[in-house]
Amino acid sequence: MQIGKNWQLPNDRDDLKIALRDRLLPALTTYGFGADPDTGTAVWAPLLAHLNAGLDATGATDEARSTAVGEASPLDIITEKALRSLYHLAIAHSPDTWESVLRGWGWRKTSF
């Protein structure tokens, strides 16, 4: 992208991939800079391949993390039942001061 008189590559990884693949590499070959060993396609093509591999790995990691977070384990369900039982026990045992009892146990959440 152009900022004033200067050109700058985007910071976003997906936009960077598009800029390298669709704009920079074709422009280098179109305007005769593709064979230049310092600034030609020999420099930018491996960077694009490395970026593609990194984006694929990042996407797979993000997908796995989202899937793992979205699934509730049986232990989560059992823990939730136990906490709810303790909550109702505190209300039944101390109907007037149950909130202070929960705070005394270290609970911050007062509703389930």
Which pairs from 75-84 meet CB under 8 Å and 24+ separation? 83/112, 84/112
User: Do 37 and 22 share a structural domain?
Assistant: yes
Which domain range does residue 60 map to? 2-70
> What is the number of domains present in the chain?
2
| E-assigned strand segments in 1-112 | 2-3, 6-7
- Say whether both 58 and 20 belong to one domain: yes
Domain contains 28? yes
Tens of pLDDT, residue by residue over 57-99, are 888 888 888 887 777 778 888 998 999 999 999 999 999 999 9
Q: Do the Cβ atoms of 99 and 110 come closer than 8 Å?
A: yes
> Same domain for 46 and 12?
yes
Residues 80 and 29 in one domain: no
Digit-coded pLDDT (tens) for 15-32: 889 989 998 899 998 998
Query: Which pLDDT value is given to residue 36?
Result: 87
pLDDT attached to residue 112: 64
Domain assignment present for residue 63? The answer is yes
